Structures are given as C-alpha cells and as structure tokens.
Amino acid sequence: MSNPFDEDIHPKHRRSGFLGWLRSSFLTGLVVVAPIGLTAYVIWTVIGWVDGWALTFVPQKFQPEQYIGINLRGVGVIIFLLFTIFVGWIAKGLVGRSLLRFAEGLVDRTPVVRSIYNGAKQIAETVFAQTETSFDEACLIEYPRKGVWAIGFVSTNAKGEIASRTPQEHEMVSVFVPTTPNPTSGFLLFFPRSELITLDMTVEDAAKLVISAGLVYPNPKNPSEPKNTALTENV
C-alpha cells in the first residue's frame, strides 16, 4: 500500500534541489561577474572623469563632438596623454628646465599657491618616482608588543637625522605597517634590520593577506616551519 505522503515528499526534494542549484549557480556567476563589472565600471568612470576635465581646455570649435556628432568617450584621455608626453619632452630640454625653474621661483613667492603646489609636487614625486619609492620586501615585526607579530613592508634604509640619532650599531630600516582591510593607511616605524623576519612571499601576496584579514593566505608554505637552510646550501 502506497504512502499518501510520498507524492508530497518527492516534489519538495526536487524543488529544494532546483533552488539549491539556482543559488549555487547565482553565487558562482556573481563571483565571476562582480570583479569584471566593478573593474569595467571603475575604468569607465575614470575615463569619463578625465574626458570631462581634459576637454574643458579644448576650444569649442575643436571639440571632437563638433565633427563626429557624438560625445566619444576616451578622446579626452588621448588628448591628456599626448599633452603630458609633449610637456615631459619639453621639460627634459635645456629651455624647458629653465622655464620650469623660473615658474617654480614665481610659485615659491606666492603664499597660498606655494603650499598647494609643493604638496602636490611632493605627492607626485613620491607616487611616480622610480628610485627607492617602492616596497622592497615583506617582513614580520613584533608590533605593537612582544609576542604579537604584524606584517610590514620594508621601504628604505633610514637616512638623515633618523639614521644619525638612532643607535649606530644597528642598521635601521623604515617599515610601513598597513591596516586591515585598508592597506593605504598604517604606521611608519623604524626597526633594526636584525629584528625583522623576512618573508618568502612577495609584497603583492602579503598585501592580499592584509586586505583579506588573513582569509587569503597566498604562501603555500607553513610559516611555523623554519626554512631548510641545509638543503639550500647543498644545492
């Protein structure tokens, strides 16, 4: 004799399986689509912002929209790149350097403009300079107290007054300790190099570890196990 509830149980299982499949497929698709969509949105927004800023310096009769009939996004970016390349080429020459020094001299004598220009120049030189401005390696430091370890990024050796006023028997290095989940903020600390534990992982992998709050561990090695120096020396 058949159970009168059999007809009700099987459809529920089928509905549950179908809804589970929909949920799993949606989450999988979201993982794939979200990074692509966010990246495309950010790029599209930045291009639009550069266009809106760069095209304001182009006379109305030379606007691309006057010739092609539509507002083609990306034209302002091309104009900005060509203009920046041209200014860089001029600034590398003798005449360009003389004009630049003359203009900076005028700016230095203007109180408000001087502060804005010098701050913007320092930021630009820090971000875009190619000499000793990138982090060299990731490391572990005991911070904020003994027995507690934090990930840091070694930038440069201590220089100037910092190096002269710290104990000379130790080589001091500047270490940036980022915060989670925003690694752009953090603390600048000066440590003796002997107190640092250099990590095998790259700076990019260490940054992923900080951003993910320890959920994404890029280094497949067990950090609790010391490096097998004997094998490396024999090789």
- pLDDT score at 227: 47
Q: List the chain residues with pLDDT less than 50.
A: 1, 4-5, 7, 9, 131-132, 223, 226-235
| Other Cβ atoms closer than 10 A to 114 | 14
Quote the tokens at residue 129: 């300079």
pLDDT tens-digit map of 95-108:
778 888 888 888 88
DSSP 129-161: --SS-S--EEEEEE-SSTT-EEEEEEEEE--HH
CA distance 168 to 138: 24
pLDDT given at position 16: 62
Instruction: Look up residue 117 and give its two tokens.
Output: 């220009």
Total-model pTM: 0.45
Residue 167: predicted pLDDT = 79
pLDDT at 5: 46
* H or E element, residue 187: strand 186-192
CA distance 151 to 30: 31
CA distance 23 to 16: 10
How far, in Å, CA of 138 to CA of 62, rounded?
50
